[in-house]
Structure 1
Amino acid sequence: MNRYATIVTGWIGLMVVVGCQLALAGEKDQDFLAIATGNAKTTAYQIGMDLKALVKPYNIHLSVCPSNGSVENIYAVYQRPGHHLGLVQSDVMAFVAKLDKDPLMTRINKQVKWVYPLYQQEVHLLARRGIDTLNDLNGKRVGIGPVESGGYLTGRLLFEITGVHPQGLAAIDDAKALAAIKAGDLDAMVIVDGSPVWRLMTDVSASDHLHLVPVVHEAIRSFYPAAHIPGGTYAWQKDDVATISVGVILVAYDFHDYRCDTIGRLAYLMRGNLAWLRANGHPKWKTVRLGENVPGWAPYACVTDYVPPLDLQPSVGMDDNRANPVAEAIRTIFRP
């Protein structure tokens, strides 16, 4: 097992024990933030852990919170006081911005600001042998992630735009979907995550007789950029796979109190330590470019206007039963 794999295994084991710990009164002289990410075997969660390691020496305690994914994250940042930051797919943000006649979506768009665009998440279409193209999923059973995941929205749009009609779409998490494929209860699943995806590295082997199916369709390329997953990314996948991708954005609530300065400091440390993140974090950090914009959304002024103090030199689950209106809006759009 390589160094990165060993570190991630340690993170996952720790998460099982402590969960998402927010500000602890016993820890003095630290500023506290929390970031909503994904489940413990997602790239989003690992990106959060990289940021936690980065800012710890600068007296910022960053709690990394597991979640169902992007749809949960954007609403958590908007309405859960303890979740200051979140990782959200760009198509989820575009969906919210498009519903500009909905008062709640408008408030979310106003109160949630982007910090940095980060990386691209590839669409992994994992299937049983005998399914070789997107069209082969007509009449099949496919897992697309919980409705509060970004993968659910991307999966629904994928099939809507391409005109592919699976027999059934299972809105279940990737662990359950993978188990269902192995048991023969599903034919394929959609995982939208930055490669390499930890679950696909650890929970799939050649003996499972699964493979990645190309996501190639002229209609979908008008909505999502082309991408590819190189052969050998996963030990069981020898060939390059053409697919599409969706961006991931680091967002924050529009705080105007002391947390404004803390988030500005975190963003400043990210920019100044990008080389460290590329050398020590998830491989996706090597693709990150922090100079892009996010159409339809405003940047966070606490980041763009941040002036570091002279002595700051960069070196080196959520449990809430309230209905999520973003998830409800997605359900409504795709309701039969």
Structure 2
Amino acid sequence: MRPTIGITMGDAAGIGPEIIIKALEDSAIYEFCKPVVIGDAKILKRVIDITDSEIVVNIIQEVQEAQFRYGTVDCIDLNLLPENLAFGEVSPIAGNAAFQFIKKAVELAKESQIQAICTAPLNKEALVKGGHQFPGHTEILATLTETDDYSMMLSSPKLKVIHLTTHVGLKEAIDTINPERAYTVIDLADTALKRAGYKVPRIAVCGINPHAGENRLFGEGEEEAKLVPAIKRAQEEGVNVSGPHPADTLFFRAVRGDFDIVVACYHDQGHVPIKVLGLEEGVNITIGLNYGIIRTSVDHGTAFDIAGKNIADNRSMIAAIQSAAELAPK
């Protein structure tokens, strides 16, 4: 019953290889999933030496060759990097390799050889210099899976949040929200949690304005125009969704256990509660990708300043692997 999770190395000049090795030193990982690294075996071996780890690398070309045994890291070795790759420096070679790792993971996920993808961070400058004009993992995944409608979910042990809008200004976010987008995200949340084993996910939608508008006392009726039609449509289709709820109390109720996931209207409305609960345990998740692919990621960057120094923290990687296993189709 353990899902197979493909863990991509990300930019190998950063802390990705180190946090992968450190995460897979936790025997509990192997109790709930079967991890396989997609990357470069020689870099993993360098990191094992740096961290004085006793882990052994099992170089493979196919998932079927993996041992999935604690103490051994199964690595699908694409062999794209030089053995002396400098840690902490922007490298076009590493940027291209990071793209190829995620491309291979998507191919494996399309073939159902892995049930979810967990990504170590990449460096956007290196990615572009390596010949791939993408701002990040999400856009790469959307392109490789031919996906138009997707959303960012943030997850922590006590709270899950999915967003209607993310990296746009607040005014643009409010202008962008419409009933169709709201319905799509509600449906994405319902589908993702059902695939993860939730029989009837309890979904709550945040209001846009303070107190969810309080009957037009605040705002210009954005809740009624942009959110309520989507909520009613989803309810008519059998989705267990409610709202719009005042955001200032909704997150407390969700953490208490009243809801399984909250639909946030804009970036900070959803990000702040998650990050207050703890950056180390936060996980970034892309849902809605075609082929039913779930992707989770650490909630930090490549940290070039500490790469190769054996001081990187593995907690976000462990949390990302756990979330990938939790959300993988059952």
User: TM exceeds 0.5?
Assistant: no
Question: What TM-score does the superposition give when structure 2 sets the normalisation length?
Answer: 0.26
Question: What TM-score does the superposition give when structure 1 sets the normalisation length?
Answer: 0.26
